[in-house]
Structure 1
């Protein structure tokens, strides 16, 4: 049986919010089988726990943010969600002392380290996958995203920036996770932004915690970070990191091919909502043994 997973013990870290600039303590706690990913704002005593769901992603300005009907916000969840997907964690309580998860270094890798330091354990319930049975697509102008049937999980994504830095780097990547590790190929890719956007972001109350320590910053010609890029195609790999996090808002791993052109958080979320609405386009599946599952899921890191 491919089992559900949670943490062995609680673990905490502190950092700054990318958009709020707030100092935040993040605590990740084990959760029982079938409870899913649950967010808890410990700075709001008496507020209800927030069960992860695509319909709660109600703010997608430069990040994916959960907003409850009562107005409680849990922001910038995509990098943490991507790490949880990469490690196959199904059940978790995420406690936060502010409205945003810490940005750390702008990638998923610090969350990978944090989760692995807590230890990952299998639980006595089968993991539930969502298998896509029919193609679902959403588009907006020339931008589009699509989920298609595929016996495994692969991602093909293309970005398009008319800028010298991007023209010197590949802007399209396809990764089949049957032969590639998430940790090796995706986890270290950082978020990025342009110097000319800083002023407009500040006016919108965003980007207050951004720095060269947690983002790739680009001027009119060059990457400003002294250490350069971690991958030659780090920009598009980060978009894949984001997409994997956005897709894991379903709370279950997908057996599907995801593809897109100039995708972003808003389109990714619209795709999830359309998929769930098309009840004939997907099904829940579990596997009695790892051999029965697609090979993409044989590469999940072993429990530690």
Structure 2
């Protein structure tokens, strides 16, 4: 019912999955109603403040970006956003010295562990929730996604790939901090060998490796020598994707999100459709007091890629 922040400073170091460049990230406790805000330190010493909400997001091909893609921005924020959303952190300042997040080991596990170590601090202000009131559905190239009313925050994710190592997989669960930690946080990003040279030529995936991605061969083999962390690691990562994409809504969502063959673009289109219909949702403070959504900043989803190698 109340907003939360972290109990202490948290530091990370790594490389960007696309840039391959070193990056330092520091998470700091923040006051109520701050939200998740990036403080980007540019080479000229100027700090750019970039809120991690959809109205500050930009459409990109391979990751979620906040800020101006042609100028000051922070990319590949999905894993951190998913961890903060699942753990229940509302207010954090994220100081970063590069334009791309550290990929770490390709999932949210390091973020979740660090947040748990830092601790969660309850704050005085009430939290806002976005409660789904009626079904909203979108379709895209044979895929679909929908929101529907539900008492909690639920994800029902189904994927269907031609690659023999993946095939058809389903993950369904109500989201809790513990379930996210056990089921989703360690599920890694994945991609296909057939796409690697194309991405390299375009200047992407320069920091990608078997240390931070599951790589699949054309004949359906998992290239990583250690294999998979879960038999269905691929759909678990897609569910992690959905959690991270929903974190940019501007309020915690009470409802069920279901997708078939989904990805970042479809996730975003579904959220856009939900937020575009004022009869489809209401903004509430738990347990029941209604808040007029017109008095708050508009909630607008951001699109990102639907298919191909994922960087979330």
Q: Give the paired residue count.
A: 286
Q: Which residue of 2 aligns with 1:295?
A: none
1:179 Cα deviation after fit: 11
Q: Distance in 2 between matches of 1:69 and 1:106?
A: 22
Task: Return structure 1 stretches of 4+ with deviation > 6 angstroms.
Answer: none
3-state SS in 2 of match to 1:81: helix
Give the alignment of 1:11-160 within 5 angstroms.
11-43=10-42, 45-68=45-68, 71-160=71-160
Q: What secondary structure sits across from 2:165 in the alignment? A: helix
Q: Distance in 1 between matches of 2:13 and 2:62?
A: 22
Aligned to 2:206: 208
Residue 70 of structure 1: CA displacement?
A: 7.0
Per-residue deviation at 1:47?
A: 4.6
Helix, strand or coil for the counterpart of 2:48?
coil
- Structure 2 matches for 1:152-191, cutoff 5 A? 152-167=152-167, 170-177=168-175, 181-191=179-189
Cα offset, 1:119, TM superposition: 2.0
User: What is the rounded CA distance, in whole Å, between the counterparts of 2:195 and 2:265 in structure 1?
Assistant: 19
For the 8 Å contact 1:41–1:99, the answer to whether it is kept is: yes
1:246-299 Cα distance to aligned partner (Å, 9 max, x none): 00111322100000111111222222222222222111122269xxxxxxxxxx
For normalisation by structure 2, the TM-score amounts to: 0.86
Note the C-alpha offset of 1:182: 1.3
Tell me: CA distance 1:180–1:111, structure 2 relative to 1, closer, same or farther (3 Å).
closer
In the alignment, the residues of structure 2 paired with residue 206 and residue 262 of structure 1 have an alpha-carbon distance, to the nearest angstrom, of: 24
Unaligned ranges ≥5, structure 2: 289-312
1:157·1:259 contact (CA, 8 Å) conserved in 2?
A: yes
Using a 3 Å threshold, how does the CA distance of structure 1 residues 262 and 13 change in structure 2: closer, same or farther? Answer: same
